[in-house]
Chain A
Amino acid sequence: MNKIVFFGGKGGVGKTTCSASYALHSAEKGLKTLLVSTDPAHSTSDIFGKQITEKINQLLPNLDAIEISGEKESNLYMDRVRESLKNVVSPVIVAEINKQIDAAAISPGTEEAALFDKMIEIIVLESDHYDRIIFDTAPTGHTVRLLTLPELLGGWLESLIEKRKKSISIMSMAMNQAKKTDENIGKDEVIKILQARYDRISQAKKIMMDDNLLSFMFVINAEKLPIDETRKAIDILEKYNILVDGVVVNKILPDDMTDEFWISKKRDEQMYLEMIRETFKGKKIYTLPMLKSDVKADNIEVMAEKFSELEK
């Protein structure tokens, strides 16, 4: 399995349970593991029965966890912008600009972008400290958009840098400084900021497209809708060259059913499992059982063990 693993899937299929038990399994295998929860519902804390904060903290030996929130990150970012605003422009314009920042705070995509930034930061900064980084992501559509963001952003930044450079070079010619153009471009703060962001995005893009470094696991249930949705999501990710490694089928019913209702349910499940094997041919398929009680700190061990059995 790869170094960076994303768990994704439709809402309610058990992404958090799977990623938490997979993290536990990795930690028990002796790999230093970081579990990152990006789900706004933040249920990882509930599973381990320990408070997980926005700073990396240790859950178990070999297992660290962090919870990141788009809202908090975007607020931090806006505060940073406001801070730098104070040094540069006149107070009249500051009021106007603050309005613009406030508008951006509530515009769609802001939290998503902030979350993405933080994820890149974690990948870039923590890769060296951990053997495995596991991301528990929010429901499918959201995550797929998140991972395709570098493509969109990269193009946009490129054209911005291009435009700014062109403007500066023409201006230099007009000012009799054609020979100093490169110097003027190098001095420009705007280009510096854009270039730094572009470099970071490219770095993230490189990591995401590296099939030996990052992979995606989809969690589904043996039902019709999750299968359809996951197939579409896999198509999109593969179009963007992101490796989808395997499919985890969660909440498999026990074999010894006696009640007529559950026997019929089990029969349906078998049919869907067949369908899953057909649809996701060539991918690793993991099956996890449905437990008697909710997955909590005391029985997550059982799930982790399942992963070890399946990986053999």
Chain B
Amino acid sequence: MELYNLMSFIFVKINKTDRNSCYNYIHKIRGVNLEVQSLEKIKEYLTFFKDFFGAATDFNRRSRDIMVKEAHDVMDEFILLCYGDLLGIPIPTTYYSLEILPLIAEDLEGWQFRMISKMYIWQQKWADYGFDA
């Protein structure tokens, strides 16, 4: 099960497609339906296997952390699109984002802090690749 999740995540990373098409993709490989038509396709599969085994043998379970972090990053972008004016970025649609405020409110404080401390970009990049202590 875990493997299955992992694979679909990697495919999101590689293909930037949605989850459903990833599943289809995986089913395709399982059924050894390897109709490789071009060099592009071969490259794609190679990258997939590389990433797949890389993640599957990652026993420190860092891959899960990366996924959680990615989800949080997307959420941060979401809040930025809604409440950018809290950081001084004028957003013409503030009026409409007010109605989801009660649902987002609890994340808002942490988000503001994260956005403001984004100036330490190097530290953040180190953390992305696991070089922070």
Contacts and interface: CB of A to CB of B under 8 A. Distances in A.
A177 to B, nearest CB: 8
Contacts of A88: 102-103, 105
Given A88-B103, A93-B106, A169 B92 contact: no
B100 to A, nearest CB: 5
Interface string A83-106: 011011110011011001101100
A193 B67 contact: no
A113 B8 contact: no
Contacts of A78: 98
- Secondary structure type dominating chain B contacts: helix
Given A89-B106, A167-B71, A167-B75, A101 B101 contact: yes
B74 A167 contact: yes
Contacts of B103: 88, 189-190, 193
Interface residues of B, number: 41
Binding site secondary structure of chain A: helix
Contacts of A100: 83, 86, 98, 101
Given A81-B98, A100-B101, A171-B68, A164 B106 contact: no
Nearest to A159: B81
A44 B112 CA distance: 47
A194 B104 CA distance: 13
24 contacts: A74-B95, A77-B98, A84-B102, A89-B102, A93-B108, A93-B109, A97-B102, A100-B101, A109-B95, A113-B93, A152-B92, A152-B93, A156-B81, A159-B81, A163-B77, A163-B78, A164-B75, A167-B72, A167-B74, A169-B12, A170-B67, A193-B99, A193-B100, A197-B99
Interface of A: 74, 77-78, 80-81, 84-85, 87-90, 93-94, 96-97, 100-101, 103-104, 107, 109-110, 113-114, 152-153, 156-157, 159-160, 163-164, 166-171, 173-174, 176, 178, 181, 189-190, 193-194, 197
Given A156-B81, A167-B75, A197-B96, 10 more contacts: A93-B106, A97-B101, A109-B94, A113-B93, A157-B96, A169-B19, A170-B9, A173-B67, A174-B5, A178-B8
